[in-house]
Amino acid sequence: MKKVLFLMLCAGFFVYSCSVQEKKITQKKDDNQKVSDTIRFTLGATNEDSEYEIIIFEPGFSAWMQGYARPRDYYSQSFLEGKNRIYVTEWNLRCIEPSRYNPDLYQQQINYRLNVDYGYEVNYQLYYYFVFFQQKYKQQLAPFPARI
């Protein structure tokens, strides 16, 4: 009887020690650290009638951008414009071929004219959106891999 009681007690301790303990972890959010997933820029051009705006509605983009993007002025504007031309051209081709590419990913064409100077900030945001998009959805918009 003592042996059975001892074995049951040992088994009880064994089961108790192997059970997973649930810990409630709460993360305090600071109001200053709230990040929106919508980025909007309104940039003036040489005349007051021209404004360029980029609006990105993509969950997680802002947080990704803060964690992975290179600092501003790391790439030149001409580098960003060159990459954006390639990415926008391929994006727009995929938009008009919904039977070949996922129409949920390529819902709307991007109006990016090659002869317009959109400024550094718009090109910077657009470039990093394309990098984010390619990584998140496992897409390749150019013959070369996207680089951060």
pLDDT value at residue 2:
63
- On whether the CB atoms of residues 148 and 131 are closer than 8 A, the answer is yes
pLDDT at 104: 94
Q: Which residue ranges in the chain fall short of pLDDT 70?
A: 1-50
pLDDT in tens, 106-121: 999 999 998 999 999 9
pLDDT value, residue 92: 96
What pLDDT, on the 0 to 100 scale, is given for residue 13? 58
Of residues 111, 137, 145, the one with CA closest to residue 126? 111
pLDDT score for 30: 43
Within 10 A of 134 (CB to CB), how many other CB atoms are there? Answer: 16
Nearest-Å Rg of the Cα atoms of the chain is 26
pLDDT at position 145 is 83
Closest by CA position to 120, among listed 86, 147, 80, 85: 80
Residue that has been written with the tokens 């990459």 in this structure: 83
Which strand (E) or helix (H) includes residue 40? strand 38-44
Length of the chain measured in residues: 148
Q: Domain-by-domain residue ranges, the chain?
A: 35-137
pLDDT at residue 114, as a whole number: 87
pTM comes to 0.68
Query: pLDDT value at position 26?
Result: 44
Q: Are 64 and 85 in contact (CB under 8 A)?
A: no
Name residue 97's amino acid.
E
pLDDT at 53: 81
Q: What is the pLDDT of residue 28?
A: 44
* pLDDT reported for residue 5: 60
pLDDT at res. 55 = 86
Residue 41 is predicted with a pLDDT of: 44
Q: Where would I find the H helices in 41-119? A: 61-68, 77-95
Residue 118, classified by CB atoms within 10 Å of its CB into exposed (0-12), middle (13-18) or buried (19+), is: buried
